[in-house]
Amino acid sequence: MDLDREIRRLARLARTEHPFFTVYLNTRWSSERERERVRIFVKSRLRECLGSEPAEAGGEADREKIEHYVKGLVAREWDEEYNGVALFACSGLGVYRIVRSYVPFRDEVQCADRPFLKQAVENLWEGQRGILAHVGSEGGTLYEFRLGGVVRTWRFEDEEFPGRHEQGGWSQARYQRHVEDHLHRNLRRLADRMTAWVDERGRCRVVVAGPDEIVAAFEREVPRRIQERLAARLRVDPHASPAEVVNRGLVALAQARDEEASGRLQRVLDRDGGRALGTSAVCTAVRDGRVHELFLLKGFRRSGWTCASCGELGERVPLGCPRCERPVEAVELGEEWVRRVLARDGQVAFLDGHEGLEAAGGVAAALRY
């Protein structure tokens, strides 16, 4: 499942009369007691959501499905390898989606007329998609990252690489050409497979790891359009452990992501126009559908309100909507902004400890017009 596409589809859903359940769980459990605590937490929160009045059939069916899934999760019957799970369910709309992630979520259970998406978007940001090529003269390995973990690998080893077997009787020049031919063929094979992966996945960053001279030779085999996606070069021994290579690749991808986002934000902060800074200005821009990219500090939370009738929203909750005088409802503004920006095909970025963003109250936006 393409999580980005699925989140945007969920963001575009209109308010529904049916109960829409959103469940986020941190499944990095350290004890049986913690597992049981989470099962009880989910069960009690689902019953609170439905209340004491008889629930519609769809709501009860969703509750039972969610409880069944969590029971199996706690009992280690499925999805044991993941650190986080998100579940979206609404029988009335035909929605039942499970998102499995290597990045943990924060435990949360909600039931409303729309899904809660901010945690999923934060998780997608943390567990970005990327491809790492670990190259050596005698072969190499490709790793595809998604949601904070390795979702696909491909490895090959050249069993005929010169030096693996006795090859006497060759002149030095001929032997050197033989080595170079094997090296070129190996790097070409790895480059072709990586290019196919990148083309298949679309937008993703690339990291290349290995000895400096092999990395440089490998990059010459890669098309320019793939070179433009290069996020980092890592000096790594060809015989380094897969765990070390993967960890360094994930760190390099995160650094590249944050640096790119910080650069985009700084250009916004340096503008005279085409931007919104602070809660009030961003509320107006989000309401009008003008946000191209929303920047939030990690962990941002701000209480506010929205009007279901006219779409107005703000920070200080009024007695009634100042625009249409209809009743308003309390919301977490970060959640509301994220949902509306994604519904209009905007982007969302989360930054940590950015002074300019902190000075703007934790939120800024690049505008479309």
CATH number of domain containing 290: 3.30.1330.30
Q: Does one domain contain both 205 and 298? A: no
Q: What integer pLDDT is reported at residue 76 of this predicted model? A: 94
Structure tokens that stand for 270 in this block: 């340096």
How far is residue 199's CA from residue 187's CA, in Å, rounded to a whole number?
18
Closest by CA to 191, choosing from 225, 159, 223, 224, is 223
Of the three residues 125, 152, 185, the one that is the final residue of a domain is: 125
Structure tokens that stand for 58 in this block: 């769809």
Report CA torsion sign: 329, 332, 335, 337: positive
Q: What integer pLDDT is reported at residue 53 of this predicted model? A: 56
Decide if pLDDT at 46 tops 50.
yes
Of the three residues 80, 104, 125, the one that is the final residue of a domain is: 125
* Lowest-confidence region among 114-118, 138-142, 148-152, 214-218: 138-142
Q: What is the pTM of this model?
A: 0.90
Closest by CA to 336, choosing from 351, 317, 356, 358, is 317
Counting the structural domains of the chain, the total is 3
Place of tokens 């500090």: 297
Residues 6+ apart with CB under 8 A from 137: 161, 182, 183, 186, 214, 238
Q: Does one domain contain both 165 and 143? A: yes
Q: Tell me, yes or no, whether 222 lies in a domain.
A: yes
Q: Does one domain contain both 134 and 70? A: no
Q: Tell me, yes or no, whether 263 lies in a domain.
A: no
Q: What integer pLDDT is reported at residue 157 of this predicted model? A: 82
Confidence tier at 184 by pLDDT (50, 70, 90): confident
Task: Find the domain containing 277 and state its range.
Answer: 271-369
Give the residue-averaged pLDDT of 225-249.
92
Confidence tier at 2 by pLDDT (50, 70, 90): confident
Is the CB of residue 350 less than 8 Å from the CB of residue 260?
no
Following CA atoms 26, 231, 201, 240 in sequence, which dihedral angle do they give, to the nearest 10 degrees?
-70
Q: Does one domain contain both 147 and 244? A: yes
Q: What integer pLDDT is reported at residue 165 of this predicted model? A: 47
pLDDT tens profile 339-366? 999 999 999 999 998 999 999 999 999 9
Q: Does one domain contain both 26 and 82? A: yes
Q: Does one domain contain both 185 and 71? A: no
Q: Does one domain contain both 101 and 159? A: no
Of the three residues 227, 258, 289, the one that is the final residue of a domain is: 258
Q: Does one domain contain both 218 and 315? A: no
Q: What are phi and psi of 48, to 5 degrees?
A: -65, -40
Q: Does one domain contain both 279 and 231? A: no
Encode burial over 181-201: b for 16+ CB neighbours within 10 A, e otherwise: ebbeebbeebbeebbebbeee
How far is residue 248's CA from residue 352's CA, in Å, rounded to a whole number?
20
11 residue type, one letter: A
